[in-house]
Amino acid sequence: MGNFKNKVVYQVYPKSFCDSNGDGEGDLKGITSKLDYLQELGVELLWSTPFFPSPQRDNGYDVSDYCAVDPRFGTMEELEELIAEADKRNIGLMFDMVFNHTSTEHEWFQKALAGDEKYQNYYIFKDGTPDKIPTNWVSKFGGPAWEYVPSLGKWYLHLFDVTQADLNWKNPEVREELKNVLRFWKTKGVQGFRFDVVNLISKPEIFENDDIGDGRRFYTDGRHVHEFLKEMVRDAGIADMTTVGEMSSTSLDNCIRYTAPKEQELSMVFSFHHLKVDYKDGDKWSLMTADLMKLKDIFCTWQEGMQAEDGWNALFWCNHDQPRAVSRFGNEDKYWKESAKMLAAAIHLMRGTPYIYQGEEIGMTNPHYSNHHQEWYHCEGRSADEAHESGCKAGRCCYCSRRRC
């Protein structure tokens, strides 16, 4: 699984990292232009969030083509240049694979909508009528997790946005298609993969209502998830690559299985329990002062538990889904520098592989937008100067948030 235990991973969000042509959005050439800086930092793996063709309903996590480059970010030739130039500096590229679902604009889903039964079986469709939803499961984005297609007389499952249809991993043809995606990028010289919400890929044999929750207990760390991961890693030939799985609402026991070398699944995992210590009554939209003793206890449990069973943690405070740690857990006014250094030391001195989100190395804080409209327009293409003139905090506002944040 590669020599990942002594590396530092740096995450870039291409849309906001570096704009090479002045159009207001970051791009692949912008990332290439900063490789010397990243090398100087000591970065050895560079994880990029998705830059594949996408309608951008979930900022690229709604993929319509896994093996192409969205023109807004550049070309395949520019991507190949990025991989080659990074390699010259001993920096490997890690790509983000969104394999739980595709965009409904993906060719597979469009063929399913056209009535092709082969491609309908690529997704999770259920026969029914508009007045009878298959289950009462709730989407991660709110509302029901099912959408009705009148022309087909069927419902399809979408655990996230209505335009993100869940793939049917029970179908071996689907699994083979996804292995081919990994083979394609491995041939291009990619050295690692991050798998988005990969512990949700195994759905139950029987779909039933959840009378005590939102449905997640039926599909999180599902019955066949370890089997699917072993098969994917083995058949796609990525056992020698660095891999990390994003694990939604997971457990320590499962994460040990995902990462223990004897299991031959993943190199490491992201878990999120430590980032819920400021949720009032467990509600992410109702914040409170972070419970630092609880934070310490969670780190202790996961550090000791993973070490005891030879598992491996991906260590992080920030990413494209999370607020800035200095603002969240530190004091960004009186003790900004001290807070940033303290948080960095905590991540780098624990057992695991540290992940640094763009700007974290300079202690970036939350942008403190006064309204959502302000942020949206800057992300949609205005220059930093234009945003600044209208009151947006240019220089900070390039870190756009995703809808699931």
What phi, psi does 401 have (nearest 5°)? -100, 150
CA distances from 77 to 38, 73, 257, 312 (A): 21, 12, 38, 35
8 Å CB contact between 25 and 124 = no
- Which residue out of 44, 62, 161, 196 is catalytically annotated? 196
Segment (H or E) for 185: helix 172-187
Residue 265 annotated as catalytic: no
The residue length of the chain stands at 405
* Segments of 341-384 assigned E as strands: 353-357
Q: Which residues pair with 146 in a beta bridge?
A: 157
Q: What angle do CA 65, 29, 86 make, to 5 degrees?
A: 90
- Which residue out of 19, 62, 246, 265 is catalytically annotated? 246
What phi, psi does 26 have (nearest 5°)? -65, 165
Residue type, 405: C
**Rounded CA separation 160/196 (Å):** 12
Q: Starting at the edge strand that comes first in sequence, how are the strands of the sheet with 192-195 ordered? A: 268-270, 242-246, 192-195, 92-97, 45-48, 9-12, 353-357, 314-315
**Rounded CA separation 215/208 (Å):** 9
Q: What angle do CA 246, 94, 405 make, to 5 degrees?
A: 40
Residue 27 annotated as catalytic: no
Q: Which residues are catalytic?
A: 196, 246
